[in-house]
Structure 1
Amino acid sequence: MTTTVTPERTPEPAPGTAPAGHRSSARRRRVYQWLFVAPAVLYLLAFFGFPLVRNILMSFQEYTPTTYFTGEAPFNGLDNWRAVFSNELFGDALWQTVLFTVGSLVGQFTIGLALAVFFTRRFPLSGAVRAVLLLPWLVPMVVSAVVWRRIMDEDHGVLNSFLETLGLSGGVPWLSSPSVALLSAVLVNIWIGIPFNMVILYGGLQEIPREVHEAAALDGAGPWRTFRSVTLPMLRPVVTVVLVLGFMSTVKVLDLILALTGGGPADSTQTLGTMTYQLSFLQLDFGQGAVVGNVLILISAVFAVLYLRVNRANAGRGK
């Protein structure tokens, strides 16, 4: 008589549930992921989150130099905000910040793109010329501002002497006239920012395949049509990065204006950055200085959100 032994069947997991081994490995994987992300999160909280929150709280407090000794900073509600917004200098500084930022970005990007396109054509000493054009970007901004302050001096500056040599009107009050000083600051900032735009855009142009331009030429497109319809659309991601980084570095410029004009003459070159410095470290009203700083942060945040939306829309079209 033969006895048949039926092997025991391993119970299958219920639908929608993973085996215990898989669940534990997935849990370990998530723990490892958080361990890798944790240093970056802690860094952001310590060096960005805490100062941001502290600055927001300070804008609602009566924060003075005595606070550092007594530790007392009474809550004063919206008094700091009302004082800043009722200050006539705030409106002027906001408008001059817009003019300074837009003028600098347009000038830097236009000249930087033109130079990048120019250097795509190989010629002798092109590398040496590009290296020389990088010097304004390598020199500290304060040093550049001091040098340009000497160059733009109304009486003894090289720039006015050069204009007189060409037979043009000399004696231009580049830094002493309220109607010209902001333009002078924009020109100096354009000179400083051209190398950055040129280098990034030149790298983007190098990534565009030559076959695309050759195909456009075979289709009868001229240089300008090829640039407008082929080069610029393919360069759009690089252009976006250049403009965003340029905006972030320009809207908060402080050292250039302080060394070049000091915010004058007659507050004609005051920006939100210099106003924050003036309120916090000259008038020692840290609460009002924090308000202007928060406005700068808000402007940067709005610009960043717009950039992310545009970038997401472009990515959606690409798909």
Structure 2
Amino acid sequence: MTTPTATATAPTKAPGKAATPDPARLRRRRRLTQWGFVAPAVVFMLLFFGYPLVRNVVMSFQHYTPKTFFTGQAPFNGTDNWSAVLQDALFGKALWHTLVFTAGSLLGQFCIGLALAVFFSRRFPLNGVLRSLILLPWLVPMVVSGIVWRRILDQDTGVLNTFLGALGLSGDTPWLTSPDMALLSVILVNIWIGVPFNMVILYGGLQEIPGELYEAASLDGASAWRAFRSVTLPMLKPVITVVLVLGFMSTVKILDLILALTDGGPADATQTLGTLTYQNSFVQLDFGAGAVVGNVLILISAAFAVFYLRANRTDGK
């Protein structure tokens, strides 16, 4: 008599049902995929931004001269470069001019750009044509704009003084040759260049505001000014943050426009941190001092970058 033996049978898969993948393996694969997309940008940033930034910081603590390019020797001199630059009276003037130039440019560009954006948000004949023409100052290279405006603002043969003289007004204003007028003139030219950028970004933000909000405000009896304060400005807040921060970071380091207009003069009246960096590094060939001023510009820009990130994080909550 034989006894039946128990045989182990393997579990059978239900037909049409796939095996459950390992969650840990899926997470690792997803993480590798994410890093695969991010890695090129990280490598690019490290090579073209990270390395120059670190090199500039190191250079600010070195005695770096034209001789270094041949010998490769740049001995460290501690904080001598920093002390020499920060104690120089010209650095204080350049810092103040930078702040005035940046604040004046941003204020003028933003106010005029916002006014034009609101104006062009209404439909009327030739709207698109006029908006396209206003973009021209932004499309022209800044050096070209500087050279053209230098001819326009020339005290003796400039178009502006000639026009003012024909109107019976003062026709010999020293726009670029007077220490009292030069910085104001440079600010006005930079406002002319930057208005189109502000108008385009703010115009795009205005198009995203629902029209129902204005209809509700009108039904509540709100005036045009009240609707602007209570509807337009709050809805534009994220766009305004972007415009001001990007405008600051592009304005604070402007060099070519000032060089084309005044070359930092007269009597250092338009000397900014950007022009001071250029003169220290490429005119006086004191690369260590130039690196110090460049690092100050980087710190200022980094402070506003942090402000930008914090403002966006607050808006996202």
| Equivalent residue, structure 2, for 1:26 | 27
Aligned mates of 2:52, 2:150 — CA distance in 1: 34
| Equivalent residue, structure 2, for 1:283 | 284
Alignment deviations for residues 258-280 of structure 1 (CA, whole Å, 9 cap, x no partner): 00000000000000000000000
Q: How far apart are residue 122 of structure 1 and its match? A: 1.0
- Paired letter, 1:232: L
- Paired letter, 2:217: A
Q: How far apart are residue 7 of structure 1 and its match? A: 6.6
> How many residues are treated as equivalent by the alignment?
308
- Paired letter, 1:107: G
Aligned mates of 1:165, 1:222 — CA distance in 2: 42
| Equivalent residue, structure 2, for 1:119 | 120
Q: Does 1:130 align with 2:121?
A: no
| Equivalent residue, structure 2, for 1:15 | none
| Equivalent residue, structure 1, for 2:16 | none
Aligned mates of 1:2, 1:166 — CA distance in 2: 121
| Equivalent residue, structure 2, for 1:173 | 174
| Equivalent residue, structure 2, for 1:70 | 71
Alignment deviations for residues 21-48 of structure 1 (CA, whole Å, 9 cap, x no partner): 2222221221222122111110010001
Alignment deviations for residues 131-158 of structure 1 (CA, whole Å, 9 cap, x no partner): 1111100110001000000110111111
Counterparts in 2 of 1:36-115, with a 5 A limit? 36-115=37-116
Q: Is the 8 A contact 2:242 2:308 kept in 1?
A: no
Q: Is the 8 A contact 2:60 2:81 kept in 1?
A: yes
Query: After the TM superposition, which of the residue ranges 1-10 and 140-149 deviates more from structure 2?
Result: 1-10
Counterparts in 2 of 1:1-319, with a 5 A limit? 21-316=22-317
Alignment deviations for residues 144-180 of structure 1 (CA, whole Å, 9 cap, x no partner): 0000001101111111122222232221100000000
Aligned mates of 1:214, 1:7 — CA distance in 2: 74
Aligned mates of 1:111, 1:26 — CA distance in 2: 51
> Which TM-score applies when normalising by structure 2?
0.93
- Paired letter, 2:116: L
Aligned mates of 2:35, 2:94 — CA distance in 1: 44
- Paired letter, 1:128: V
Alignment deviations for residues 233-281 of structure 1 (CA, whole Å, 9 cap, x no partner): 0011111111111111100000000000000000000000000000000
Structure 1 ranges of 4+ moved more than 6 A: 1-10
Q: Percent identity?
A: 71
Aligned mates of 1:303, 1:26 — CA distance in 2: 36
Aligned mates of 1:162, 1:263 — CA distance in 2: 27
Query: After the TM superposition, which of the residue ranges 213-222 and 28-37 deviates more from structure 2?
Result: 28-37
Structure 1: state its 5+ residue gaps. 11-18
Q: How far apart are residue 183 of structure 1 and its match? A: 0.2
Aligned mates of 2:210, 2:4 — CA distance in 1: 78
Distance 1:311 1:29, change over 3 A: closer
Alignment deviations for residues 34-75 of structure 1 (CA, whole Å, 9 cap, x no partner): 122111110010001000000000000000000010000000
Q: Is the 8 A contact 2:155 2:172 kept in 1?
A: yes
**Aligned alpha-carbon RMSD (Å):** 1.7
Aligned mates of 1:27, 1:198 — CA distance in 2: 46
Aligned mates of 1:309, 1:28 — CA distance in 2: 32
Alignment deviations for residues 187-219 of structure 1 (CA, whole Å, 9 cap, x no partner): 000000011111111111111111111111011
- Paired letter, 1:71: G
